[in-house]
Structure 1
Amino acid sequence: MELKRHDHTDWLIHFVRNRNPTQDFPGQSELESEHHIGGELERDAEAFEVLKAIIRLGGIKPGYSFRKRRTTIYGGKPAVCATEMPLHAFATYARERASAGNVSAYGIAFLKSEFFAAGGRPAIYGLSTENVKYSHKTDTRRIMDETVLPKREQYRYVAYNPKQATRPIDWSHEREWRWVSQDPDLDEVWMKDYDGALGPVPALPIFKGSLEGRSFTKVCILVWSNEEAEYIRKLLTGIYLSGHNNYDTPFDTALIRRARIIVLDDVVNAVEKDRAINAQTIEGLEQAKLLQPITIAAAPPNASTIVAQAFSAAQKAAKTADEKYTANYGEYFSGYGYAHITTTDTTDPIVQYLLSVGQASGPFDGEVRINVPGTTGSRDLDRAEAVNTAVADVLAEKLGIGVYIVTRED
């Protein structure tokens, strides 16, 4: 599309921020708040961890958006909030409010039209009456009488009073949109609760894309630095290669292949230093080629030879390490367990080749397990760790990738 305005965009941004137990779970004990957030995040998780969890789970869990210990979401249902502020405005807004902990430079963007198709609507700022009656009014549940606003539309309401003498209320600069669950069979993701049990929870399932009648075809992930962008690229690439997350939730690989990563530091530099006015919006960044894709790499022509030689050297290292362990510890048994030979280099051509020919498995939340015959499987955990650590060192050298060991008891 031809970009005609720099204050308007076809995209919405859901920004995330650092978890603040006092603000996010007012009046709740530590145990209560941990039950509320589930087993995917710490109650005081930083914003980047929240963003990674959204990607891993495949969607955004709605919330009640507490301010001053009271929910700002009316109608009794939690909501997903988004803003249609142009990207540069969002970046500077996040930078200015970061010290207060209310906004971060991390988020996920999706098309306004697709958010609308999923049931999202623009916020309603203020009402035509100041005589607001409630059918239910507590700090955690605020439902207005339907004579004021139909209950099904109340989630859209944002308090607005710019003429209030003591402290004007005006959040209209956020240009907010909101979404509440429409269909419990479609609007969910699977996640672990506090006790570790896996099950569905209401959520906006963005990474299911257009599967089963859902709405999304494009997403952008917002981070601040290129280092963070590389982490997200590996995570997204891994999900693309596997087609699902660690809980076997299917993801739309076409959406992930089209996903783009935005480094907000680049946006600020493009606008404020290079005077690239088009870079104020995602559309402009696309024109300026500042949207970073995931990495799908072709295998090297001699990939099979490289892997065969690396595996042969790894098997010799495994035999030597096993014999050394026996010499030092005899047949001591520490307990059954696994020592997985692991890499997170999902963007590397050799790793993608290993996955394509079945010599690696996963990715599991971005982690790829390399399957070297004769070196894996359930066995004495201490011995397995010693042997496979030697294998990992050889593979790292021969394949030119980062390799490490992930252990777990059987």
Structure 2
Amino acid sequence: MTVRLHRDRPVPLSATLGHQPRRGLRRLGVLAALGLGALGMGSLFSQSDSKLGQTLAASAVLPARAAVPEFQADCRAAPAPLQRRIEEIARSFDGKVGIAVVKAGCKWEVGARAHELFPQQSVSKLWVSLAVLDAVERGKLDLQRDVLIQPADLTLFNQPLRGEVLEKGRAVRSVHSLMSAALSQSDNTANDRLLWTVGGPNVVRKVLRDKGISEIRFGPGERLLQSQVAGLTWSQDMALGRNFEQARARLPKDVRQAALDRYVADPLDGASPAAIARAMARLASGQLLAPETTTVMVDILSRTRSGPMRLKAGVPAGWKVYHKTGTGQELGKVTTGYNDVGILQSPDGAFYGVAVMIARTTQDYKPRMEMMQSVSRAVAEFHDQSAK
């Protein structure tokens, strides 16, 4: 079926991406994990069956997708007022912050320090899942495939899987389950295991290149990245208990400070807010993945547990947020890599890719979150004024 898109009449993502494979995903055994019925996502995806979804269910191999029609949106409103507001927000924040906003289907972007590289931290989990879903589309990976997680696979910081692995000596999760844990729970072990299941950092970097996503670096994996940021050399015993934190605390402060300064100045996982916002807009408009794999990724992002008071808390009633946070290491009063990025969906079906990234600040939680809320609030106000 051909979908006619009108520039002056915003179209829900379902019209561009096709139908949600509910029955197919039930055959995958992941419908309960997705929670699609409980989410009430009808405004984003329709609930009809699809042949592509059934193919995904049967073998997790997707045929080559047809060309996606050019996503069109109402781009008549000049973004200058939003640009001025974003500059004002960035200027008033005490810290190095980068902000970018891109409206899906439009050629403009607005922002502040939008093309500088900022530490991503857990925002980079997006690109692991993108590589996984790209592999699913090409028939190289199956969402149903079971993956073994052992003590040697454990990482550090937030890793809800660790308890089960240590208690039982192992854990088994499907690729889809690992993706859900990595994105919605920001589980570092789930993400690292997913990374090596898809082929490692070079595979992720290739997917980014192949999809035309520039100004985004992908680091060496969670363990090596975080140990380098701290000024340590990784050893696997650091994954147990609070061994990593204790080893880091034993370092002289000047060693830690120098390592953190190097990282912030030239982050291994650096990305520009503009590149991330553009990628999120492309995801929303069906330009990165096929309809069914887009459904999988966006659904998981709708259930992100971290950062409820960041971007999500700034949008008015009726708006939806599909996002991924990142939180870096701290030293004294300095916080690094404090981020929130994603898709904002207006009640009338417009989509905005948004990235707010703090490289370094001494501000406490509240002003950080309030700054992020002011960005999402500014996007909503701009949209409402444009509609008038």
Smaller-chain TM-score bracket: under 0.3
State the TM-score, normalizing by the size of structure 2: 0.25
Larger proportion of helix? 2
Select the structure with the greater relative contact order (CA < 8 A; seq sep ≥ 6). 2
